[in-house]
Amino acid sequence: MNPLHLRSAGVSLLLAFDSGEAEIVHWGADLGEAIPDLNLLRAPVPHSALDVPVVAGLLPQASSGWLGRPGLRGHRTDDDGAPGFAFSPALRVTAAEASLDGRRARITQSDAEAGLELVSELVLNEGGLLEISHELINRGTGAYHLGELGVVVPVPSAASELLDLTGRWCRENHPQRQQILQGTWVRSGRHGRTGHDSSLLVAAGSVGFSNRSGRIWAVHFGWSGNHEQYLDSLADGRRMLGAAELLGSGEIVLAAGESYRTPTLYAAYSDSGLDGVTDAFYRWFRARRQHVTSHALANYRPRPVVLNTWEAVYFDHRLEPLIELADAAADLGVERFVLDDGWFRGRRDDHAGLGDWYVDETMWPDGLAPLIEAVTSRGMEFGLWVEPEMVNLDSDVAREHPEWISRPSAASPKDGGRLPREWRHQHVLDLANPEAWQYVYDRLDALLRENDIAYLKWDQNRDLAEQGHAGRPSVHEQTLAAYRLFDALKAAHPRVEIESCSSGGGRVDLGILQRTDRVWASDCNDALERQTIQRWTEAVLPPELVGAHVGPTHSHTTGRVHDISFRAITALFGHFGMEWDIRQATAAERETLRRAIALYKQHRDLLHSGVRINADLAEPNLTLHGVVAHDGGEALFAAVALGSLSAEMPGRVGIPGLDPERTYRLAVALPTPEDADFVDSFIQTSPPAWLSEGATATGRFLAEVGLPLPILRPEHAILLHVTAVE
């Protein structure tokens, strides 16, 4: 069988079949059209080893001599129910075909004795992002008990360092880095959701790879439930980077003819550092027809300025203060007003009411209509917070339908079926129960039909520990049921946008983002924390999908105090909004905020379409990041002092990513001398000359020589507007 060669955007994927199974022999830099006889890649056979070369297949198998983590684990039982049979399949290629455009492949491998068939689909997208998924089909006569089906890609020995992300609530997506050593590195997520500590990106790269340099092979697993991500580094020098759904005991049992499809593994290769990986993901996102900035959308509009009420009023839902807040929002130029938690029956705090998705008649005797009319009459969209996957025991629905609450026991509540421990006073509604699923769908559908709601802030505030349905583990079923709920509501209400919020960044992945329109990256609105959270969330997700809000002057989650310019500059590089009682803002703060909102509206097409740039700077407490238009005509950059700098002056800083042959003019856009916090942002007797006068230079000069930055105070920033001089 001839090899298959997929090519796109400077990336090649080469598949060989000489061994009888599918094998990725190259994934990386483009190889050009001419491919030699692949026999030249036949590996040597070492002493004390199998007598033939070991194949590291598209699905690694012990039947090919692979001694690392297997791609497939499972078994059958015999007629007496004894387990362990068909434990080591020998899947071999029966069909392989590529699309005419040379960017798609479909490969079928079978083992008649084991009664298994594997269909693998590979797509190399126009921007160079690779998608891989497998479907396992039970072709036998009895049940097949699936333990794991992984999706992997090979990485070469040139990849010697590993970077992944971790975190916690209010500190999501922080990087950690280590040398790749022999053995298997594993990150497990058992939260029943993606998790605050989940790695949005796992990147294996060459020595010292950075934002703008080095070769990198990186993956993301598009799944919102339990999962494992791993790098398998064998003694023979080969390495596999991959992921798999983490299944509970007996969670997937395939009857004859049934199948299981893996979540998609997304993989990006870059020879230009982490920014090249980011560019591949951004191109993939922005090519989707359903993407929020796609002009193919019937309800396309630029990403609106948001005001969310949570940190402004919490559970204090009185009409008069909320209308005052709407007045203040409209005066500043807000375009979407979102009413957060507290509007439904019995909801005065977080102990009660979840599941009763009816407007509280005692708090809202005329329904939500008076507030919605006040918001929309002021030129803003109305949005509403929901948490439909959860339930409080103190709720009508829990009292009437205790059997709808997920539990590890098969016993009914009347028989003492044990509940998992509470988390924020709530439990999980068992969406694998068709009646519970239908109830939630009907209530949300009614809310959207009866009210002028343009946006749902969809929260999910707890881990799914001991998630069970009918006595069996059910994270897999619950995740798919949640997906179906999103999909059904989207189909019924295509003009309604949905945000995936999960106590902040607890459910951020490409599985949920196939059916939602943005994520809430973190419950932390502290601008200093957000600098790191947003940088690494946006390593994969383009900024138009990442909610970024100006929080209160005094952060509710960290207690830090930051000036308005720093908070506004931080929020500009995302889907901009506010989560703050802006009625309490000073006149000076309102003026700066008004200027920031005007800047966002002026530049949001650039912010939400351009190329992401992260400069490589030696000073760890100084960052320079920005967005450059694809035609090179315009850019926005933020220079940020995360803390005190080691040197007295930051010195000259290169500005990368611009067209080296074009001439640019740079000016400070925020803070400006008109802003009250302009002088307080710097520690200097006099500024660099260009700060007040502007600067004009070629892109090459700006990248190679750079400009002297002003001496920023710790936890301050400046926003630079760069325009090409025609």
Nearest Cα to Cα of residue 334 among 564, 498, 577: 577
Question: How many whole angstroms separate alpha carbon 99 and alpha carbon 195?
Answer: 37
Does residue 272 sit in helix, strand or coil? coil
Tell me the domain boundaries of the chain.
4-287, 306-520, 613-724
Residue 170 annotated in ligand binding: no
Q: What local confidence, expressed as pLDDT, does residue 726 receive?
A: 77
Residue 460 annotated in ligand binding: yes
Residue 424 annotated in ligand binding: yes
> Does the model's pTM come out above 0.85?
yes
Q: Is 396 a catalytic residue?
A: no
Sign of the four-CA dihedral 431, 249, 426, 322: negative
**Residue 209 gets which letter from DSSP?**
-
Residue 279 annotated in ligand binding: no
Q: What local confidence, expressed as pLDDT, does residue 481 receive?
A: 98
CATH class held by domain 306-520 = alpha beta
Residue 169 annotated in ligand binding: yes
Q: What local confidence, expressed as pLDDT, does residue 680 receive?
A: 85
- Strands (E) located in 167-249: 174-179, 183-189, 202-205, 216-222, 227-233, 239-245
From the CB of residue 195, how many other CB atoms can be counted at a distance below 10 Å? 27
Q: Is 523 a catalytic residue?
A: yes
Q: What local confidence, expressed as pLDDT, does residue 113 receive?
A: 96
Q: What local confidence, expressed as pLDDT, does residue 721 receive?
A: 97
Residue 458 annotated in ligand binding: yes
Mean pLDDT per 10-residue section of the chain, whose length is 726 residues: 95 96 97 92 88 92 95 93 93 96 96 98 97 98 97 97 98 98 97 98 98 98 98 95 97 98 98 98 97 89 97 97 98 98 96 98 97 98 98 97 93 78 96 98 98 98 95 97 98 97 97 98 98 98 98 97 97 98 96 97 98 97 98 98 94 97 97 83 90 92 96 96 94
**Amino acid letter, residue 223:** W
- 53 and 124 in contact (C-beta within 8 Å)? no
Helix (H) or strand (E) holding 464: none
CATH class held by domain 4-287 = mainly beta
Catalytic residue among 164, 360, 459, 675: 459
Query: Is 613-724 CATH 3.20.20.370?
Result: no
Q: What local confidence, expressed as pLDDT, does residue 57 receive?
A: 95
Q: What local confidence, expressed as pLDDT, does residue 414 receive?
A: 66
Q: What local confidence, expressed as pLDDT, does residue 255 receive?
A: 97
Helices 527-537 and 564-572, axial angle in degrees (round to 10) = 10
Residue 501 annotated in ligand binding: yes
Question: How many whole angstroms separate alpha carbon 462 and alpha carbon 265?
Answer: 25
Nearest Cα to Cα of residue 292 among 598, 625, 550, 519: 519
Residue 524 annotated in ligand binding: no
Residue 602 annotated in ligand binding: no
Question: How many whole angstroms separate alpha carbon 162 and alpha carbon 177?
Answer: 6
Nearest Cα to Cα of residue 503 among 143, 172, 124, 206: 172
Residue 461 annotated in ligand binding: yes
Dihedrals phi, psi of 691, to nearest 5 degrees: -60, -40
Catalytic residue among 197, 275, 523, 526: 523
Residue 357 annotated in ligand binding: no
Question: How many whole angstroms separate alpha carbon 29 and alpha carbon 490?
Answer: 39
